[in-house]
Each structure stands twice: as structure tokens, then as C-alpha cells.
Structure 1
Amino acid sequence: MKRFLAGAALASALAAAALFAQGIASRNVKPQPRGKPSGRPFPAKFTDVAREAGLTQPVIFGTDTHVRYIFETSQGGVAWLDYDKDGWIDAFLVSGTRLNEDPPEATNRLYRNNRDGTFTDVTEKAGLRRGGWGSGVTVGDYDGDGDDDLFVTYFGDNALYRNNGDGTFT
């Protein structure tokens, strides 16, 4: 056991030294010149189709007029996942709230992909309604059952949602 600990300590020290040396060595790197534009036109045009796609609920953070605290400005986040394992990517949107009120629409939202370019809000059915100062989300399979689970970060207590495999989370 002592050999293992000594080896681990040596490996950690060498890794730290290498990272430190790399940080010092890279300080003197000169910026590269900016590339030339291709000269080709870029006729991209974006159109807001959220309402037509069924993404109708607002993401809430702070007040409409001003914000007082930093956590009022750092809300939001989105995760793309296949929560119902139908082969179509669904969307989970993280929402915040307001200091002076907790509006009813201030909740995270899970939108099921309808396979036709539209989405349906299934937040209530999935058991994912929660207010609070949500700030981020990540998807993983923490319990190894093959379902996409959600970990949502909040100002306060974070939440781990287990996908039950039947369209609901606990």
C-alpha cells in the first residue's frame, strides 16, 4: 500500500509540474495573424419559429425592468436528450424566477419532439415542474439503466432527476 501511495504521489507531482511548466512556457506565444475572409457571400437568414414549433413558454429570470443580484442574470440552459427513447431529440429548458414574485410560468420545461418539427410541453406529465433559480443542466445515465437522466443546477439545492423509463422522472 505504501508503494502505491508513493507512486501516486510521485505521479501527481510530475503531472502538476508538467502543467505548471506548460503554463509558463505558453505565456510568450505570439498571436497568429487573422485569416483572410473567403470573399464568398454568406446569405444566412434566421427566422424565429419558436411559436410555430410549440416552444411557447417563456424562460424567466430576473424582473422585466432591472436586476439587482448576479443570480438574476445567470439563468438558463438547455439540454437536448431523448428522454422517451423514441429516436427523436427532445428539449429540456432551465428557467429561473423573480425576486418579487414566483410567476406560474417560472418552471423548467421538457418538450417532447412530435417528429414533425413541433414540440409538446410535457413538463407536468413528466414530473419536472420546479421553480427556483435554475442555472444549468446536464444529461447522463447515472444509474446505468440506459435512460437519459437530468442533473439541474440551482442557486441553492441542485436536483438529480431519475428517468423512470415511462415518460416520468423522480
Structure 2
Amino acid sequence: MNGVTVQYELVDEVISYLDLRGGIRILVDGERVNRLRDEAAHESNREWEPEYVGELVWKDIGGVVRVATRLASGECEVWEREQLDLSPGMGVFAFEPVSAQDLVVSYWIPAGDDIPTVTPESGRGYVVRRCQFCRSVRDTAHEYLDEVEAMGIEFGRSAFEEYRTALDELDTALETCRETTPETRF
């Protein structure tokens, strides 16, 4: 089965948690899920693109933690799609359990003028182990929280408590991830 890793990139010089800009990416066996066709021609004023996607990294990591908690606790049924909508126009990560243990992770960008398109592999997605994905999210989210707490951010520190609570919920859900498999409705 494929190995999955969730990673993030942050910009420097942060004063408030709202300044926490950057992107996230998901790798499956070292290959990015968020790949674009003709990436060399893709222009962006965001230094982390196209390797990482999104802009409001604090929002995106919080969103992927919520998705992982639902997946780890078995709340998301087989074939029920969970989505992480990145900043407008930045794309969507989709997560869909396809069996009790397997999850398809894909990336797409809503259609529009001058919008880059994703590779067919990214749009179709990659099969990974559900609990392995959730553990990777947990590890990355803890690393992220430790890093931003160490930055000495002056404003919005109370938002870190929300992250800590969400991470506690994910940690608890992961304790029984293998036993809390998604239900199948036919």
C-alpha cells in the first residue's frame, strides 16, 4: 500500500496568526497529489506554489485536522466524500473512503478562465491507508502548532487553543482508528 505524508510551508515574519500564510501538500510515495499540468508555465506570486497549495495555512491545516478526525473516528461512510476547500481558486483536496481501510486522496481545481488544470493522476486520486493518512495529519499538525507557538506571535494566540482542542480530538480518534471503520450503505 502507498505511503502518505502531509506537509506544510510557512512564510517568515509573522506577527499575528492571520499572517500565517503558506501552503500544504500531500505526498503519496514521494509524489505530490497536488500536481498541475505544465507546472513550469504556472506563474504565481506565492513562493510556495506549485509545490504547496493554499494560502491561509492556519485555516487549511485546521481543515485537514477536522477531516482526519472524521475519517479516523469512522464518521465518514464508504464513498462519502470529505473536501478541504483551499482559499478561493486554490483548489480542493478530496478524501473518500473506498473500503474499511482504504482512502482515495485527490486534488482538483474548480473550472474557470485562466485556471490551471491538474494532472489526470491528481484528479483521479491515490489510494492510501485511512489510518496512516490520519496519523500523518496528526504528526504534521503537532509539528505546525509547535512551530507557530515558538514564533512569539503577539496577536491571536487564543486561536492556538482551538487547534490544541482539535488535535486532542484527532489523537483520541486515532486510538481506535482500526476499529472504527467507515460504514457501508447499499
* TM-score category of the 2 structures, normalised to the smaller one: under 0.3
More helix by share: 2
User: What TM-score do you get using the length of structure 1 for normalisation?
Assistant: 0.27
Which is greater in Rg? 1
Higher relative contact order (CA 8 A, sep 6+): 2
